[in-house]
Chain A
Amino acid sequence: MNDMETLRDAWAGTEPPSPTARANARAALLERAAAAQSAESGEPVPRVRARRRDWTIGLTAAAVAATVITGFAVAPSLNRGEHFAAQPTTAKGVLERAAYEAEHRPFKAPRPNQWLMVDTRVVLATRWTKTNDALPGPYKTSDDRLWYKVADERAATVDPKSKKLVDRMSIAAYPFPHGYANVARLPTDPAGLIAWWKDKERATNGSGEPAWELLVTQLGMFLMKSVPPPKVQAAVYLAMTRIPGATVATGIKDGLEGRTAVGVGWPTRPGVVQQILFDSSTYTYLGTRDLNGPRPASGTSGVEGTLLSAEFRTRAVYVDGPGQVPN
């Protein structure tokens, strides 16, 4: 046996990938393919129930505001106007209010050597129809914890088997970064942010107009994995007002442990709506959820409004290193 054979045999018998990892990876690829198809044809994306890649942090249930950052106040760039007087009832009104609140909420930028610890509760439907529509309950709930480095795009998590800290790639929001240093460099005007995104998409997916559905999905991931500085956060919400087809849902309580959310949603695939959730009183970002949307004309079953999956942020706090969990 020569050195190459020894090397091969010494690492023989590596475990095959888990069916879940394989299914998630395939779904992510099909989701990307569907978005590309949609961008090219200008038609709705093909029917794919793309479960999110599980390293992306999740969807659903609990809630809780992030304890992140306190500190400097940012000069307001929006007028309170009508949005501050009453509960906004339109998607545009909700997003503008969220932008306003983001800009006025106390915020302290992290130090470059810190990491952002994000806890997320993930809820997934467990029963599906033959046409890949979710059926209501029971739901599988799990908690996810990741640390994102401030200075770059490194991320870490605790391996569930070994209980050891391991590097974790975290690129699901691509082209949007998650490390604060890069997040803080994003354009702070909504038009500039959208233009930046389109440039990035064209650079990787070729020419043509990127699909709005892709932006909705990526921003959902981006918000879940980062706590942008006020002006970037506001730019994100205001950029969302430019995404066509938004709807608003109020009085959302399921999975939010006593909180009430208002959600702004867009169709991301035929028959599926993704909502970005905000606390209905503070307009703090709470998470993302996918629901059965309006039923397409044919070929589907399931009931509109049934939860497919959700990722609720339960905690977000800066710590001094990966693995550190503050009390």
Chain B
Amino acid sequence: MKRILARSADASVIERSLREPEDFAQIFDRYYDAIHGYASRRLGPTAADDVAAETFLIAFDRRDAYDLSRPDARPWLYGIASNLIARHHRAEARQYRALARTGPDGPSEGPEDRAAARLDASAARGPLADALADLAGGERDVLLLVAWAQLSMQEVAEALDLPAGTVRSRLHRARRRVRAALPEAIEEAV
């Protein structure tokens, strides 16, 4: 309930920002870190600075077109971010390829005391990165909006302005590719 109330305020804030533009900073304060984190996973921190900043500028510019019947602004913001990230598709693919080459012992941004599951995930990072690099852009958007942005399929459909069926099929194809890339032990646990 708390989450619903919090989200329901997004549309109100955006509506209010049409009269009081500076109120849009509340949307920034709520979601900047999340959008930045998503962009950082996909492009690295430097490009994420730009993508996250630009996401909110574009959102602000387009706020009068926001569908106020949608209380939660996250899908809208992630959709804008996804479009910006798409401009960097080559850089994104390069980043995944680099991660794939570094393997499980490569650079890690996580805490030192990872749980066993994290170790498994870390071991899978290289093959997963390789699989992500091979995905079509549309499939990767859907997969990562679900996995990293934790949007529902309906929210992904809103974010990318796609029919729900298209989202389902893209997610299905992407997951199949990802599962095929996972190390055996992890795959068995699926």
- Shortest distance from the beta carbon of A275 to any chain B beta carbon, whole Å: 24
A166 CA to B32 CA, complexed, in Å: 22
Q: Mark B39-76, 1 if CB is under 8 A from A, else 0.
A: 01101111111111110110011101000000000000
B residues less than 8 Å from A40 (CB atoms): 21
Report chain A residues within 8 Å CB of B3: none
Given contacts A2-B190, A169-B87, A206-B64, contact A17 B33 (CB under 8 A): yes
Q: Hey, which chain B residues are within 8 Å of A6, CB to CB?
A: 120-121, 124, 128, 182, 186
The distance from the CB of B127 to the nearest CB of chain A, in whole angstroms, is 9
Residue of B36, B50, B61, B121 touching A32 (CB-CB under 8 A):
B61
Which of A17, A33, A53, A206 contacts B24, CB < 8 Å?
A33
Q: Are B54 and A171 in contact (CB under 8 A)?
A: yes
Q: Given A7-B147, A13-B110, A169-B54 in contact, is the A2-B189 Cβ separation under 8 Å?
A: yes
Pick from A29, A157, A159, A166 the residue with the most CB of B within 10 Å.
A29
Q: Does B179 contact A (CB under 8 A)?
A: yes
Q: Beta-carbon contacts of B6-22 to A below 8 Å, as 1s and 0s?
A: 00000000000100111
Bound state CA distance, A7 and B190, in angstroms?
12
Q: Are B84 and A169 in contact (CB under 8 A)?
A: yes
**Is the C-beta of B97 less than 8 angstroms from some C-beta in chain A?**
no
Nearest residue, chain A, Cβ from B19: A40
User: B28 touching A25 by the CB < 8 A rule?
Assistant: yes
Q: How far is the CA of A305 from the CA of B178 in the complex (A)?
A: 59
The listed residue with most A CB atoms (<10 A of its CB), out of B25, B36, B53, is B53
CA distance A16 to B41 in the complex (A): 11
Q: A32-57 CB contact bits vs B (8 Å, 1 = yes)?
A: 11101100100000101000011100
| A254 beta carbon closer than 8 Å to chain B | no
Cβ-defined contact, B118 with A12, below 8 A: yes
Q: In this complex, which of A4, A54, A157 has the most chain B Cβ atoms within 10 angstroms of its Cβ?
A: A4
B36 touches A55 (CB 8 A): no
Tally chain B residues at the interface, Cβ within 8 Å. Answer: 62
Q: Which of A1-23 contact B (CB under 8 A)?
A: 1-18, 21-22
Contacts A6-B121, A29-B56, A37-B21; A21 near B49 (Cβ below 8 A): yes
Given contacts A2-B190, A17-B32, A169-B50, contact A11 B56 (CB under 8 A): no
Chain A residue with minimal CB distance to B59? Answer: A29
Say if the beta carbon of A168 comes within 8 Å of chain B.
yes
Contact flags B165-181 to A (C-beta < 8 A → 1, else 0): 00000000001001100
Q: Within 8 Å CB of B150, what residues of A?
A: 8
B111:A13 contact, CB within 8 angstroms: yes
Contact between chains at A3 and B175 (CB < 8 Å): yes
9 tightest CB-CB pairs across the interface, nearest first? A13-B110, A9-B121, A25-B53, A33-B21, A169-B50, A21-B49, A10-B125, A17-B36, A10-B121
Binding site for A on B (CB under 8 A): 17, 20-22, 24-25, 28-29, 32-33, 36-37, 40-41, 43-54, 56-57, 60-62, 64, 84, 87-88, 90-91, 108-111, 117-118, 120-122, 124-125, 128, 143-144, 146-148, 150, 175, 178-179, 182, 186, 189-190
Jot down 15 A-B pairs with beta carbons below 8 A, ordered by A.
A1-B120, A3-B182, A8-B150, A11-B41, A13-B109, A14-B40, A17-B48, A21-B53, A24-B53, A30-B22, A32-B21, A33-B24, A166-B47, A167-B88, A171-B50
Given contacts A7-B143, A13-B109, A169-B87, 16 further A-B contacts (CB under 8 A): A1-B120, A2-B190, A4-B147, A7-B121, A8-B147, A9-B122, A10-B125, A15-B45, A17-B36, A21-B36, A21-B53, A55-B49, A167-B43, A168-B50, A169-B51, A169-B84
Binding site for B on A (CB under 8 A): 1-18, 21-22, 24-26, 28-30, 32-34, 36-37, 40, 46, 48, 53-55, 157, 159, 161, 166-171, 204-206
